[in-house]
Structure 1
Amino acid sequence: MRPQQVLVLGLILLVPVLAFLFLKSFGTNRYALPTFLPDRVDSTQVAGKWQRDTVYHQIGGFRLASQSGREVTGEEMQRKGLYVANFFFTTCPGACPRVTSQLVRVQEKFRQEPRVALASITVDPAHDSVAVLARYAEEYGAIAGKWFFLTGDKTVATRLATEEFRLAPSIDPGSLHSQQVFLVDRAGHVRGRYDGTSERDVNRLITEIEVLLYTYDHQ
């Protein structure tokens, strides 16, 4: 056998070995989602040593009416596993329809996954009654029990937007709607924030939902 042939054969045999070593070294690494909205830093004692640990905000409870007329609570949304939340109003002519259209993609991607839900909360409950939301939900093909369009007392929506999800009151004069979309885990922590008008950002949301579901299955 010629030296060149020996060299080629050696390289062919070496490739799978190198691939195995690479996967063995790096295959166990996982992509970890960040947690948003830090509340405070606490000191905890671990193995006799004090360590500083960040405590993150948990989305507080709420009770709102869905497009079907049934009341939905924050606890119910968390029990599902995770949910995607946004703030909108049905007469919004700009970003809201674009965000809702992107969220259709999220719904369809996880149509068969019961642990994924969506909550679109109106910031104009005076106009957005249950009947109005029912028509809006139907227009976008919302699946009953999966995508909830929620309405209720104005103060509840305002508290959720500004105190729980910490949207700035100055986002839009006279309104708290936003093109931001949030990913909330089963502990009530915000694990992702996205521009709901951006296809690229919503693609990232879909990927990070899959990552979060993976962590639930592989603790």
Structure 2
Amino acid sequence: MKNYSYVGISLVILIFGIIFIPKIIDRINDDEVVSSDRLNQKREKSTKDKGEPLSYIVLDGEKKKAPQFEFINQNGDTISNEDYDGKVYLVEFFFTTCPTICPIMNKNLVEIQQELKGEKDFGIASFSIDPSHDTPEVLSEYADNYGIDGTNWNLMTGDREKIYALANQGFGLYAGEDANAAGGFAHQGMFALVDQDGYIRSRKDQFGNPLIYYRGSVERDKSLAKGEEGPQIEILIEDIKKLL
């Protein structure tokens, strides 16, 4: 009886090997192993869409362009959207005394700047939502403290209402005074990605809809607890390179 049992078990193993092992090998060779089987889910998630073209943001049947602007940068120079013509660039709204998300956002932007060092057709446009405090001198000191290379990165200040209109109506990124918010101002920790022709671009989410904006307020390599929003800096760098 024991011999028959061993024979039966051996036969089952043999059949399993004949049917399933070649399929498993094929899946590995074709790189079709599901993400839950991967050791590094973050990396898989960030690279799976490399071949997909970036989306436009379409409103009322028209592709959305970045709005026009003209402000003063950290060097006292007048900067407008025309200075970014032909460049791929990122847009953020921040303030220098922000105690919460702005330091993370600008740390991420510095890392992106370093990653794309030497790319003359890449730039960053940062707009202060506290322009009464954030003078060109204050912005210049802030840039020095963060290691910001001002070659293609402008930190801008100017008329408060124009900056708020640029954020809220122009880009659709909320910014405003809020006595209950840390630092006295509330804003979204998102980055807008603009292509060489001035159109706002993004990759699609898992449902096929454009992300619209990229999450900038989560550290690039943050270890996440269950349910936390993950960083999007890796996919943003990929998409910038794709546009370049």
TM-score calculated relative to the size of structure 1: 0.73
Instruction: Give per-residue Cα distances to partners, 1:117-162, cap 9 Å, x unaligned.
Output: 0111100000000000000001111112211111111112111101
Q: CA deviation at 1:169?
A: 5.3
Query: Does 2:191 correspond to 1:181?
Result: yes
Q: 1:98 and 2:115 equivalent? A: no
Greater strand fraction, Structure 1 or Structure 2: 1
Shift of 1:56: 1.5
Question: Match for residue 208 of structure 1?
Answer: 239
Q: CA deviation at 1:176?
A: 4.8
Note the alpha carbon deviations across 1:37-93, whole angstroms, 9 max, x for none: x2212xxxxxxxxxxxxx1221121111110111110111133x1111100000110
Is residue 201 of structure 2 the alignment partner of residue 191 of structure 1?
yes
**Does residue 163 of structure 1 match 2:174?**
no
Instruction: State the partner residue of 1:131.
Output: 137
Cα distance between partner residues in 2 of 1:175 and 1:210: 33
2:14 maps to what in 1? Answer: none
- State the alpha-carbon separation in 2 of the partners of residues 180 and 33 from structure 1: 17
Structure-2 residue corresponding to 1:24: none
Distance in structure 2 (CA, Å) of the matches to 1:96 and 1:154: 18
1:144 is paired with a residue whose SS is coil
> CA–CA distance in 1 between the matches of 2:76 and 2:132?
15
RMSD: 2.3
Give the match for residue 32 of structure 1: 53
CA contact (8 A) 2:134 2:157 kept: yes
**Which amino acid in 2 is paired with 1:212?**
L
- Equivalence for 1:64: 71
What is the SS of the residue equivalent to 1:72? strand
Work out the CA distance in 2 between the residues paired with 1:171 and 1:33: 33
Unaligned 5+ residue runs, structure 2?
Answer: 1-25, 31-49, 203-212, 221-230
Match of 1:145 in 2: 151
Matches within 5 A, 1:15-26: none
Structure 1: distance between partners of 2:128 and 2:172 = 16
Structure 1 residue runs of 5 or longer lacking an equivalent are: 1-14, 20-28, 42-54, 214-219
| In 1, Cα distance between equivalents of 2:110 and 2:195 | 20
AA aligned opposite 1:34: S
**How far apart, CA to CA, are the structure 1 residues paired with 2:216 and 2:177?**
15
Question: Which entry has the higher C-alpha Rg, 1 or 2?
Answer: 2
Percent identity, please.
Answer: 31
* 1:44-83 correspondence to structure 2 within 5 Å: 55-79=62-86, 81-83=87-89
Residues 85, 198 of structure 2: 8 Å contact kept: yes
Moved over 4 A (4+): 169-174
Distance across 1 between alignment mates of 2:52 and 2:143: 34
Q: Give the C-alpha shift of residue 168 in structure 1.
A: 3.4
| Closer, same or farther: CA 171–110 of 1 in aligned 2, 3 Å | farther
When normalised by structure 2's length, the TM-score is: 0.66
Q: Which amino acid aligns with 1:186?
A: Q
**For residues 136 and 63 of structure 1, do their structure 2 counterparts lie closer, same or farther at Cα, with a shift above 3 Å needed?**
same
In 1: Cα distance, 2:195 partner to 2:177 partner: 25
